[in-house]
Amino acid sequence: MNIKFTNARILTMVRGEDVYDGSLYTQDDRIVYVGPALTEVEETSKLPSGYKADKTMDCSGNLLMPGFKNAHAHSGMSVLRSCADDMPLGDWLNKQIFPREAKLDADMIADATKLSVLEYLTGGMTACFDMYLTPESEACAYRDMGYRAVLCGNLNNFSSSVGYTEEMYDKLNHYDPLITYEIGFHAEYTCSDELMKSLSEMAHRHNAPVYTHLSETRSEVDGCIERYGMTPAAYLESIGMWDNGGGGYHCVHMSDEDMEIFKRHGLHVITNPGSNTKLASGIAPIREYLERGINVGIGTDGPASNNCLDMFREMFLTTGLAKLREEDAAVVDALDVLHMATVGSAMAMRLNDADVLAAGKLADIIMLDLHQPNMQPLNNIAKNIVYSGSKSNVKMTMIAGRILYMDGRFDDSYDVERIYERAQEIIDTIR
């Protein structure tokens, strides 16, 4: 479908461009024009030959911007929401989560993934970087929902294998235009030395980046130093894991040497402040990352550890906790945080066609309702999104040119109530 958006305020997220009044045109899954409003004569010269809008939407002065990218998620954990709260990470994983996950099958995980997609759409998230247990069934769920996802390997000592990871890398990168797959493993502390070295060799065969949970807790870092005499980041560098780039989820407890490793290899940090706060894992050194020129993206982590899949809350926590950590209200500016949630996350996920609003980019677009009390007056719209915005401001979420959420209603192809019923059935089965 070709859609013409008129009477919009536009925030492209291109560095140096402020919010301006204008129009945006989509053709199939791409943006073909974004800029000042066009006259009919200008449309003829500035739009593709023969372009005709199937639909015109008057934005009534509301804001169009790139969708948020959730750069770290475990979508299939949605059925475990509120099953394991108010406990430290080790107990949370080993005593509550792992035993329940062992009872989940591929179909359950696919259905749970659909529940998370609904929540992503209500929060203006147009893509997620999903690391979970059954990538094939997850890919099927995302395809069925029309949702963009980057799937990440979850290799560990207890499930999967390097061979399976390579099979998924080859298969899912040719599965559907909305789906890509990146090499990954759960964490240093859940993988043997032999397993990680084998995965590093695989990544070299494909010249591919690698992603993992990294330095989330002090005990994780201390354990790695005890095992290898190095921090997790340094150990992984020593076995060549970072030679083709990649990144780390969390990166809370990082030394100066770790940060230099990230800078040297062009690695991405994906911060998850909501989960790290709830699990008392610590506060990531975001100011230092920005000062060193390390790209930072933002993720929600899973709905069992957060428990809310809400990028507005993550953005506020990213800047708010950084200010507390540094005891300086001026650090980690709201505009930098908005950049992390859109462009920074897209870079980490290698979604280079979905980072900003520009002709030729993917039509992964959200509309934010500015006609609500929390967005008024319009003194600084971009900073308002971070400091006072909420999911209630998400009026529209579009992915690949298709509107999947509008004015509180999901796409008609979704059986929303059945998704809710199925989630309850699953948790009742594995409780």
Which tens digit of pLDDT belongs to each residue from 315-327?
A: 999 999 999 999 9
Q: CA 165 → CA 154, 177, 200, 203, distances in Å?
A: 8, 20, 12, 10
Position 137 in a domain: yes
Q: Do 255 and 377 share a structural domain?
A: no
Judge if 39 and 127 occupy the same domain.
Answer: no
Asked if the model's pLDDT at residue 105 lies above 90, the reply is yes
In a domain, 417, yes or no: no
3 and 52 in contact (C-beta within 8 Å)? Answer: no
Same domain for 97 and 120: yes
Overall domain count for the chain: 2
Domain region containing 13: 3-66+353-410
Residue 318 lies in a domain: yes
Shared-domain flag, residues 169 and 273: yes
Above pLDDT 70, what percent of the chain? Answer: 100
Q: What is the pLDDT of residue 378?
A: 96
- For residue 259, what are the contacts with CB-CB under 8 A and spacing of at least 6? 285, 288, 289, 292, 294
Mean pLDDT of 208-220: 98
Q: What CATH number did the domain enclosing 16 receive?
A: 2.30.40.10
416-430 and 106-122 helices, crossing angle to 10°: 130
Q: Classify burial at 311, counting beta carbons within 10 Å of its beta carbon; exposed 0-12, middle 13-18, buried 19 or more.
A: buried
pTM listed for this prediction: 0.97
In one letter, which amino acid is 150? V
Tally of CB atoms within 10 A around 55: 11
What is the reported pLDDT for 390?
A: 98
Same domain, 58 and 75: no
Residue type, 244: N
What is the SS3 assignment for 125?
strand
Same domain for 267 and 138, yes or no, is: yes
61 lies in the same domain as 79: no
Q: What is the CATH number of the domain that holds 106?
A: 3.20.20.140
The verdict on 319 and 405 lying in the same domain is no
What residue type is assigned to position 341 of the chain?
Answer: A
Query: What's the mean pLDDT in 204-219?
Result: 98
> CB of 97 within 8 A of CB of 304?
yes
In a domain, 431, yes or no: no
398 in a structural domain: yes
Amino acid at 251: C
260 in a structural domain: yes
Q: What is the mean pLDDT of residues 362-380?
A: 98
Verify that 19 and 74 share a domain, yes or no. Answer: no
The predicted pLDDT at position 159 comes to 85
What is the pLDDT, as a whole number, of residue 94?
Answer: 87
- pLDDT band with cut points at 50, 70 and 90 for residue 89: confident
Within a domain: 392:
yes
Residue linked to tokens 């998230």: 125
Residues 160 and 216 occupy one common structural domain: yes
Please tell me whether residues 61 and 76 are part of one structural domain. no
pLDDT digits (tens, 9 = 90+) for 255-281: 999 999 999 999 999 999 999 999 999
Answer with the one of 321, 348, 375 that is the final residue of a domain. Answer: 348
Are residue 137 and residue 236 in the same domain, yes or no? yes
Average pLDDT, the chain: 97
Q: What pLDDT sits at residue 88?
A: 80
Q: Is residue 323 in a domain?
A: yes
Report how far apart, in Å, the C-alpha atoms of 298 and of each of 9, 43, 310, 368 are.
Answer: 25, 37, 11, 19
Quick one: what percent of the chain has pLDDT higher than 90? 96
pLDDT of 92: 83
